[in-house]
Amino acid sequence: MCGFVGFTGLREQREAILHRMADRIIHRGPDMEGYHISGDDPRTAIALGFRRLSIIDLAAGKQPMYNEDGTVVVVFNGEIFNFMDLRTELQAKGHIFKTHCDTEVILHGYEEYGTALAAKLRGMFAFVVCDTKTNTLYGARDMFGIKPFYYTQTSEGELLFGSEIKSLLEHPGFRREVNAEALRPYLTFQYSAMNETFFKGTYKLPPAHWFEYKNGQMHIERYWDADFRHKTSLTYEQAADEIDARVRESVAAHRISDVKLGSFLSSGVDSSYITACLMPDDTFSVGFESPDGTHKFDETTEAGELSQKLGIHNYREMLTKEQCLDAFADIQYHMDEPQSNPSSVPLYFLCQLARQHVTVVLSGEGADEIYAGYEWYADTPLMQKYKHIPAPLRHLASDASQHLPYFKGHDFIIKGSGRPEDWFIGQAHVFEEKDAYDILKPKYRVGPTAREVAAPIYDRVKDLSELEKKQYLDLNLWLPGDILLKADKMSMAHSLELRVPFLDREVWALAAALPAAAKADARTTKIALRRAAARTLPAASAARKKLGFPVPVRDWLRQEPYTSRVRAVFSRPAAAEFFDPRALHSMLNQHLHGGDCWRQIWCVYSFLIWYEQFFGA
């Protein structure tokens, strides 16, 4: 796990610029650094920088890494879990390997397969290959978007790229300007939901895409897409056996490391299952004290009990409001873009705790998306009865309701249409579209609505079932934009490698083939996964309802000094630049007097704290 930076073109002091860019992300790789600078022509000049967190082949895995004659060079962030199979295949074709590191597979794989390489890789990755013979850059991002990749072009035509946006800020040609179109959808999604980031003109390479950059032109293509069409003929018990086999095989592949590793552990089935398959020496858990004396914000008790049953040591920590207040600016800095998922806060401290003891952790991200673990995926018993009405009638009722003023049952009728594209935008829905529009200053009302962001994704899967449409949307928006982004940024903030065995192409292939009835019903979610996990876990752990890293933000916002801190931020000139300040203070006052606006308040507050980090107060 590492971080890379790079840029094309000639610049005065380009070596110094490159070093500053790499130093900005030293947290991603404190163990080693490396640089490549070549070319005296602006059209062919390239500078590559690398920061390494040593995990595999500690001595020989230096980057940038070169092929035999030095004409091809690579910088790479991630892990390739099928690298030994690819290495054997490439050796049979005559390629000579100098290391035992997975990075070298990318070098020779590019020489052998060209742009088809990305589709052959099993793992989590973002990389750039520079071919000096053809003056071409080739790069890719893994199929789920586990590892990040950002790029932009300067006014002089230089390409800048890196693992984090903050590194690009060190280049004198970088354009530091807020993307006005990003704010409106953020207020509904709670994360940056477009390919263009909050920095105008800076983009994310989408998951499952490769790019080729040549003669100043960027060409991008998708190499993989989630496919739900091929269903399994296995019985439910057979499917559970096969899920168990594939998860265990993935965990075995993800445990390859030359440094110590452990696992995150909450009370949920996902991390519990990964832990039971891995059986590490150590697990890590954090929680919060609940103001009412309950344990609704604390999963550490259950995590400790399971660790004890498995004979594993559990490190756990109870977090305080003061810790979170003090660290929140740092959290938003490391996120690169504003992100208001409250679970980023405990995840930051969980990674900090783990890094005191290990360098690599396995975690349960991705299970909810591929096995249908969210409540939004399942119909209530009442909704199931409503859907006995013929679909054409439900569609007519939904179409009519969308053009009527709000009434009791309005949302139920729209959701009952069976067309998630009419209402479902993913797992986060903070501001309603009208409320987001109204709270913004006119200059920032220009961005797309949440439904406009989701529409082109839905257009690709018009024939899927309702459940699979929801999963497909989350796989393309929520998973890379929220879940995996915070997993990468919070772990890398503490120089910790986080691996996600559920997000493996072999595990995915079976999950996609499961029928809807094996995923979720009115009573439970992740049905097939729970059956598989029950072969290893105690029954209570396999069946336990999802909590989702709960954080007591609602309570904090009614307590000092948090209330005063938020009010102070809402009173600054930056708040008035983007929002109607009266509306912000009205929300806060409403929440203090018994309303429930905490998610909206937290979303705006997170953005403003992020803005302070990158643009000043």
Q: Which of 2, 101, 277, 324 is catalytic?
A: 2
Long-range contact pairs involving 58-63 (C-beta distance under 8 Å, separation at least 24):
58/258, 58/259, 60/98, 60/99, 60/100, 60/101, 61/99, 61/101, 61/103, 62/32, 62/34, 63/2, 63/4, 63/34, 63/103
Query: Would you tell me how many other CB atoms lie within 10 Å of the CB of residue 18?
Result: 23
DSSP conformational letter for 479: I
Question: Of the candidates 25, 33, 64, which has an alpha carbon nearest to the alpha carbon of residue 165?
Answer: 25
Question: Of the candidates 181, 150, 158, 72, which has an alpha carbon nearest to the alpha carbon of residue 117?
Answer: 72
Instruction: State the virtual CA torsion across 303, 308, 313, 319 in degrees, nearest 10.
Output: 30
In angstroms, the CA 276 to CA 253 distance is: 15
- Known catalytic residue at 277: no
DSSP conformational letter for 182: H
Beta carbons of 584 and 566 less than 8 angstroms apart: no
Residue whose structure tokens are 């445990």: 255
Strand order in the sheet with 32-38: 32-38, 46-52, 2-8, 159-162, 150-153, 202-204
Question: In terms of DSSP H, where are the helices of 291-446?
Answer: 300-310, 321-335, 344-355, 367-371, 381-386, 391-401, 410-415, 433-439
Q: Which residues contact 212 (CB under 8 A, 6 or more apart)?
A: 115, 136, 137, 138, 218, 219
In angstroms, the CA 343 to CA 550 distance is: 7
In three-state secondary structure terms, 392 is helix
Instruction: Give the dihedral sign, CA 160/166/169/170.
Output: negative
In angstroms, the CA 179 to CA 578 distance is: 12
In angstroms, the CA 184 to CA 44 distance is: 39
> Which residues are annotated as catalytic?
2
